[in-house]
Structure 1
Amino acid sequence: MRDVVEQLQRLGMSGYEAKAYVTLVVAGQPLNGYEVAKRSGVPRSTVYETLGKLVAKGAAYELRGSEEAVVYLPLPPRSLLERMRREFDDSIESLQTSLPTIVAPPGAPIIHNLKGTEAVLARAEDVVAAARADLFLSIWPQEMKQLSPLVGRAAERGVEVSVVHFGPAETRIGYLYERHFPVPNAIADNLDCSLLVVVGDGSEVLIGGFANGSAWGVYTEDPAVVTMSVEYIKHDIALQVIADRIGHGTFADLWGNDPELVRLRASHGHPADLLRAVGMSDH
């Protein structure tokens, strides 16, 4: 009986209602309020209120005798369960239409501005540690030295790791591509900083800049920024693969002399200025 009472509670009856209904079913004959209270354990002070609620729900009926004595009969269990099933199905059908209409619109994507080497690298570690499917990194040796243990563990747990590493790498993890074109020092000079980009599971990205002992950065879950960051790293990987295919000499000549490529590299210091502005922001 305890199990039946618990199941009825799960279907919406109160504890007292469930006990009173089960008592009526077990009795097999009409009972008055006093008898229901005595057999069920429902307090006499609340038994008539409880029975009234069962009647209101259609789970019990009132029978009045010739002397106006009131007794109660339960709705047969099979009928009760069928009624509950219909009501439950009706509620689900109604909610399928109404519930989606009250869902709050998506909030603005999370964005954190970061200042200082420790803060930037700590957030990068968070992204690496949380990855479960894939990681994309664009990284320099100094930052790789700190992040490589976590990146290695990510690879060990099955994360697909793709790394663009500026210059020779001491440790090779996952799919690692050493970027040689243009020369890493020339890249840093052109940007006026070294960039760190870490993307985890296509859902979050840390972008940082390091220069002269200072660091600035931003963390965000904005899908547009995350997608652009992944494509940025894939673009760099593609450049290194192409250089390997066509020959480094040919690629270096093209990179250094093609007027369109020279024009695209003419934004000296601009990325560093943008990151500094982010790091100084209070938002």
Structure 2
Amino acid sequence: MTPVRDVLEHLQRLGMSGYEAKAYVALVAASRPINGYEVAKRSGVPRSTVYETLGKLVARGAAHERRAGPGATEYLPLPPEALIERLRREFDGSLTALEDALPALAAEPEAPPLHNLTDAEAMLARAADVIAGASRDLFLSAWPQELDRLAPRVEDAAGRGAAVSVIAFGPADLPGDVREHRHAKAVLDDLGYRLLVVVGDRREAVVGGFGGAAAWGIYTADPAVALMAAEYVRQDIALQTLADHIGPAELDRLLAADPGLRRLLRR
């Protein structure tokens, strides 16, 4: 790019139109006051618009008029150094104003959806929605009563290629990595209700409980909550896997010997 074209491009970036930039460069290059006809001839700005263009330069302070005689007007540029300093002040001022104004215009980020589920049918239906939306991975912690209702959706998710991980509080015939909890009765006695955790793609989750005729829970698309719910299921699966490898007796011995570990694993 030639130096003149480079200058024209930068002047346009700083707010001048193409014709204004050409007219200003012509005035600077002339090194003396010149009239509109000469500006048009030197710059390539059409004669039909050159006076309108010069008027805009005068209005923005980038050029000045000088009477050269009756009915004659000549133009001279604001010196380049002064123009650059003026543009710097104007743009610095605009940037300072935008630093405060633009963030104030930004909308507050929407909170991830979260709503209560107040009965068994609503909770199972929302859990089925989460399972149906899972494409990468699916984590479940559930009891046979709920797994029987959700099993077809789980099979569909596995068929789509989702990695299914289940901790089941009873026998379960499901695809994927399914581990049966060894102490289901103790968990039920401790909690007093059947806990359901369903997490799809670690981005949405249903967590709730079933006790007698009552059921309650939440649905959320908060990724932080979904991640925590997935980690809850993963911990249970890891513990059952550890018990499978070392045997229940050795696991009980470890828990008995380490009160801290026993406290962490107690529900």
TM-score (norm 2): 0.57
CA RMSD of aligned residues (A): 5.3
- Percent identity, please: 24
Equivalent residue for 2:140?
A: 138
Partners of 2:140 and 2:167 within 8 A in 1: yes
Equivalent residue for 2:165?
A: 163
Q: In structure 2, what is the Cα distance between the partners aligned to 1:81 and 1:150?
A: 66
Residue by residue over 1:100-127, the C-alpha shift from the partner in whole angstroms, topping out at 9 and shown as x without a partner, is 985777665542335353343224434x
3-state SS of paired residue (1:181) = coil
Shift of 1:137: 0.8
Question: Partner letter of residue 122 of structure 1?
Answer: D
Partners of 1:120 and 1:217 within 8 A in 2: no
From 51, 54, 73, the equivalent of 2:57 is 51
Equivalent residue for 1:120?
A: 127
Shift of 1:181: 1.5
Q: In structure 1, what is the Cα distance between the partners aligned to 2:131 and 2:82?
A: 58
Closer, same or farther: CA 73–110 of 1 in aligned 2, 3 Å: farther
Question: Partner letter of residue 71 of structure 1?
Answer: E
Shift of 1:221: 1.1
Closer, same or farther: CA 18–243 of 1 in aligned 2, 3 Å: same
Equivalent residue for 1:234?
A: 234
Question: Partner letter of residue 12 of structure 1?
Answer: G
| Stretches of structure 1 lacking an aligned partner (at least 5 in a row) | 156-160, 266-283
Equivalent residue for 2:258?
A: none
Residue by residue over 1:182-214, the C-alpha shift from the partner in whole angstroms, topping out at 9 and shown as x without a partner, is 349x8599664461320544xx331144868x8
Q: In structure 2, what is the Cα distance between the partners aligned to 1:65 and 1:195?
A: 88
3-state SS of paired residue (1:233) = helix
Question: Partner letter of residue 219 of structure 1?
Answer: T
Q: In structure 2, what is the Cα distance between the partners aligned to 1:210 and 1:66?
A: 92
How many corresponding residue pairs? 234
Partners of 2:58 and 2:65 within 8 A in 1: no
Please state if 1:32 is matched with 2:33: no
Q: In structure 2, what is the Cα distance between the partners aligned to 1:33 and 1:120?
A: 78
After superposition, where does 1:66-81 map in structure 2 within 5 Å?
Answer: 66-67=68-69, 69-74=72-77
Closer, same or farther: CA 4–66 of 1 in aligned 2, 3 Å: closer
Q: In structure 1, what is the Cα distance between the partners aligned to 2:154 and 2:48?
A: 65
Equivalent residue for 1:19?
A: 19
Partners of 1:136 and 1:233 within 8 A in 2: no
Equivalent residue for 1:269?
A: none
Residue by residue over 1:240-264, the C-alpha shift from the partner in whole angstroms, topping out at 9 and shown as x without a partner, is 1221132146658999xxxx89xx6
Partners of 2:36 and 2:50 within 8 A in 1: no
Equivalent residue for 1:244?
A: 244
Closer, same or farther: CA 31–205 of 1 in aligned 2, 3 Å: same
Equivalent residue for 2:259?
A: none
Q: In structure 1, what is the Cα distance between the partners aligned to 2:151 and 2:47?
A: 71
Question: Partner letter of residue 39 of structure 1?
Answer: P
TM-score (norm 1): 0.54
Closer, same or farther: CA 246–215 of 1 in aligned 2, 3 Å: same
| Stretches of structure 2 lacking an aligned partner (at least 5 in a row) | 256-261
